Amino acid sequence: MTYFVLLEQRNATLSEVSLDVWNAVQHLAADAGCAEIYGVVIGDIDDGVVSSLCYGNGQVYVLRDKAFDRYAPSVYAQAIAELAAETGAEHVFLAATARVRDLAPRIAMRLGAALVSDCALKADDQGFPKATTALYAGSVRAVAHVRTEIAVYTLGAQANRSARISSSPVEVRNADAFCPEFSGWNPLLEEVRYFTARRDISESDIIVAGGRGVGGRDNFVLLESLAEALGGVVGASRSAVDEGWRPHADQIGQTGKSVAPKLYIACGISGAVQHLAGISGAGIVVAINRDREAPIFSAADYGVVGTIEEVVPRLDSAVRSFQRLK
C-alpha cells in the first residue's frame, strides 16, 4: 500500500493540522505493516524545517517554484495529483482545512479517485484505512467503503493528537520536475491576508466560544478574559458572526471551521446541529446556558445553567485564583 500526504505550508513552516495527519498516517502504515509513505510540501520552505517537523518513515518532496507563489487551485491540484500518481499512491490524505475544501475535489477528479471528506481514520482488521464520516451535519456517522483504486481523504482535526511514531526525521527531496507550467491564468482574483496576533482557532487546544446568548459585542470581553486566563482563544457561533460581534474567521460549525480543542467552553450557544458539526473532534465540552433544556447540554461533558454575565466572570476569577496558587 502506498500513502501520500499533503503537508500544508504557511509562513515557511508546516501547519499543525497537517503534521497531525502525517503522524496519523504513520500509525496507520505501522498497523498495515507494509506501507510506503510520501509527503509533499508546496512553497518556499527550508528542507531543514521540514525534516525538523516530520518524523517516521518515508520521503517528503518539496515543490518550490514561482508558479506556487500565489494559490492557484488548478496549478496546485495538478502538481499534487501528478506527484501522487508518480509515487503510485493509493490513499491520499489531507487535513480538512479551508484551502483543502477547494483543493481536494480537484485532486480526486484528476486521479479518478473517490473523495471521502471530513473523516476520522482508523485501520480495519486487515490494516486498510477505515474512514468514518459525519453526515447530516453530524447527526449520523457512516463508514465509507471506497470502490475506486485510489481514494482521497480529508481528515477532520481531533482533540487527541497523533503522537510522533519515531524520532528519526524523514528524508526530504526536491521535486522540481513536478512544478507545472503556469499559464498565468488564475480564477482567484485577489488574495487578502489577515495578520493577527491571535492563534487560529483551528489550532488551539482551548476555545471559549460565544453565541447569541452572549448578548452583544461588548460582552465578548468576558470571554476574551476567560480565554486569556486559560491560555486559549475565542470562537463564535454563526449567529454571533451574523450579528457582527465576531469576524467570520472565528466561526465554528458546518459553514465555519472544524475545531478539535482539548477543552471547548460554549457560552450562550444553543447547540444547533450545524454548530455541533464543527466540534465533533473536541475533547471536553463545557456548556454555559441559561436554558436548562438547551440542546448543547446533550453534547456537553459538563454543564452550568446560568447567564453568561453571572457564570463567566466567576469562572474567570476561579481560574486566575487557581493559577496564583500554582
> Is 251 annotated as ligand-binding?
yes
Question: Does 272 sit near ligand FAD (CB under 6 A)?
Answer: yes
| Pairwise CA distance, residues 251 & 231, whole Å | 19
Question: Does 275 sit near ligand FAD (CB under 6 A)?
Answer: yes
Identify the residue whose cell numbers are 509527503: 39
Least CB distance to ligand FAD at residue 207 (A) = 13
Q: Given candidates 2, 204, 225, 289, which one binds ligand FAD under the rule CB under 6 A?
A: 289
Find the part of the chain contacting ligand FAD (CB under 6 A) among 32-40, 65-73, 85-93, 238-246. Answer: 238-246
> Is 303 annotated as ligand-binding?
no
Say how many residues touch ligand FAD, by CB under 6 A.
27
Question: Does 269 sit near ligand FAD (CB under 6 A)?
Answer: yes
Q: How many other CB atoms are found less than 10 A from the CB of residue 324? A: 7
Q: Are 16 and 36 in contact (CB under 8 A)?
A: no
Question: Does 291 sit near ligand FAD (CB under 6 A)?
Answer: yes
The DSSP secondary-structure symbol of 219 reads: T
Question: Does 158 sit near ligand FAD (CB under 6 A)?
Answer: no
Question: Does 256 sit near ligand FAD (CB under 6 A)?
Answer: yes
Residue 120 phi/psi, 5° resolution? -110, 150
Question: Does 290 sit near ligand FAD (CB under 6 A)?
Answer: yes
Question: Does 307 sit near ligand FAD (CB under 6 A)?
Answer: yes
> Is 168 annotated as ligand-binding?
no
Nearest CA among 271, 277, 276 for reference residue 291: 271
Binding site for ligand FAD (CB under 6 A): 211-213, 215, 237-240, 251-256, 268-270, 272, 274-275, 278, 289-291, 294, 307-308
